[in-house]
């Protein structure tokens, strides 16, 4: 069951980097939704390799084929299966890798866990798996949008270049105007320069994605183990290369005293709201109607074009210099994946909340 996510709107993904394709099955999608195929294509385009000079040059057209669950363009309430076929797979690139473990990749751990592995492009452990999440996320986003819920992710840090302000300081519509997906155009240029510099050196760099969810009504999320932030954290840490998650004031929270960062309630023209939003829109695991925001830290891509020490399958020390096409920085392409997982999470909780209504 480790390949499934969600309690009611439940996505199961399948597929490997260099197998036939990456796909998924969505069980529990509400019926009678007219699926906007174009908006799915847009999300895939945002995640697609080769979209700019700072992403891998692997070419994938990433066309989604729906296998079930739609009739005359509408969801029927039955499982929606889909596949995005792989095209540009150079399996020959991976002969050496089948015999040596790439540092900080999943080669070694898969080998130990399963006693074998598909070495072609990392097989199941490849970030190409996230294409399925973007398809499901696009469907979820569409349903959320009809409920007035919008999700906006952006790159807030690359290497040491970081945005100092919170999401409220930026015009998030700017995000998609540059290759790094940063709402601050000046910082965006700095980030892009840094990525190109690192790339020229055959190296890679990490960063942080900030994600903002607007319009979630109060009362969404479940207590105790399925707190909204707990499920978002699981969702985000399930993304390849993610190293951390926090929400609201997050890791800065220890710097505030209780009286400083408590979000006091006020009556805003008949609506109960909070004066500040250190809580990140979540209290006790349940949304309070304010904007939800969180951060996800990503490490630098493990594939560097430099010679590295490693060992063979049998433990003999050796060196490895990976060739091929890889992202110098995962950030721009991670933004739509973060948004997709947020969309799936929020929609699932919205559907769970229906249980409480008479």
Among residue numbers 123 through 162, which ones bind its own copies (CB under 8 A)? 123-125, 129, 157-160
Q: Does 68 bind its own copies (CB under 8 A)?
A: yes
User: What minimum distance in Å lies between the beta carbon of 201 and its own copies?
Assistant: 8
Compute the least distance from the CB of residue 323 to its own copies, in Å: 15
Q: Which residues, 28 to 47, sit near its own copies by CB under 8 A?
A: 28, 30-32
Among the residue ranges 36-44, 77-85, 163-171, 175-183, the one whose residues contact its own copies (CB under 8 A): 77-85
Question: With respect to its own copies, which residue has the nearer C-beta, 233 or 335?
Answer: 233
Find all residues with CB under 8 Å of 109, minimum gap 6, and list them: none
Does the protein bind its own copies through residue 291 (CB under 8 A)? Answer: no
Q: Cβ distance 324 to 126 under 8 Å?
A: no
Interior angle at CA 205, CA 200 and CA 206, nearest 5: 160
Question: Using CA atoms, how far apart are residues 235 and 285, in angstroms rounded to an integer?
Answer: 15
Chain positions 98 to 127 lying near its own copies, rule: CB under 8 A, are 101, 103-106, 108-110, 112-118, 120, 123-125
Fill in the per-residue mask, 180 to 199: x = in contact with its own copies (CB under 8 A), - = not in contact.
Answer: ------------------x-
Cα 118 to Cα 88, 183, 318, 326: the distances in Å are 17, 39, 21, 19
Regarding 175 and contact with its own copies (CB under 8 A), the answer is no
Q: What is the DSSP letter of 329?
A: B
| Three-state DSSP state, 297 | strand
Select the span of 45-53, 55-63, 168-176, 280-288 touching its own copies (CB under 8 A): 280-288
H-helix or E-strand spanning residue 349: helix 331-353
Taking CB under 8 A as the binding criterion, the range among 37-45, 53-61, 87-95, 217-225 that sits at the site for its own copies is 217-225
Q: Which residues contact 12 (CB under 8 A, 6 or more apart)?
A: 3, 4, 24, 25, 27
- Which of 20, 59, 321, 323 binds its own copies (CB under 8 A)? It is 20
Among candidate residues 287, 297, 296, the one with its CA nearest the CA of residue 214? 287
Q: Which of 42, 76, 166, 291 binds its own copies (CB under 8 A)?
A: 76
């Amino acid at each position: 069951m480790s390949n499934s996510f969600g309690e009611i709107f439940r996505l199961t993904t399948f597929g490997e980097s260099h197998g036939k394709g990456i796909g998924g099955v969505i069980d529990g999608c509400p019926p009678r939704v007219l699926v906007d195929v174009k908006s799915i294509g847009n999300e895939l385009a945002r995640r697609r390799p080769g979209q700019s000079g700072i992403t891998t040059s692997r070419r994938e057209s990433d066309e989604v084929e729906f296998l079930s669950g739609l009739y005359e363009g509408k969801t029927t309430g039955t499982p929606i299966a889909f596949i995005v076929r792989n095209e540009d797979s150079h399996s020959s690139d991976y002969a050496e890798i089948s015999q040596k473990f790439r540092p900080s990749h999943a080669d070694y751990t898969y080998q130990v866990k399963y006693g074998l592995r598909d070495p072609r492009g990392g097989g199941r452990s490849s970030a190409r798996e996230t294409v399925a999440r973007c398809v499901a996320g696009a469907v979820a986003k569409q349903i959320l949008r009809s409920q007035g819920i919008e999700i906006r992710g952006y790159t807030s840090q690359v290497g040491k270049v970081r945005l100092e302000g919170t999401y409220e300081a930026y015009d998030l519509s700017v995000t998609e105007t540059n290759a790094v997906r940063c709402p601050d155009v000046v910082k965006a240029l700095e980030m892009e320069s840094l990525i190109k510099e690192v790339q020229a050196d055959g190296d890679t760099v990490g960063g942080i994605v900030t994600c903002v969810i607007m319009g979630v009504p109060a009362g969404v999320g479940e207590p105790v183990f399925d707190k909204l932030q707990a499920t978002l954290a699981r969702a985000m840490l399930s993304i390849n290369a993610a190293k951390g998650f926090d929400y609201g004031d997050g890791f800065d929270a220890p710097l505030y005293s209780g009286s400083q960062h408590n979000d006091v309630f006020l009556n805003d023209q008949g609506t109960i709201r909070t004066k500040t939003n250190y809580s990140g829109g979540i209290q006790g695991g349940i949304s309070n109607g304010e904007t939800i925001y969180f951060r996800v830290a990503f490490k630098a891509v493990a594939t560097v074009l430099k010679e590295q020490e490693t060992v063979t399958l049998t433990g003999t020390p050796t060196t490895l210099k990976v060739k091929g096409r890889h992202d110098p920085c995962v950030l721009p392409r991670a933004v739509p994946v973060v948004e997709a997982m947020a969309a799936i999470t929020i929609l699932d909780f919205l559907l769970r909340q229906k249980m409480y209504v008479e």
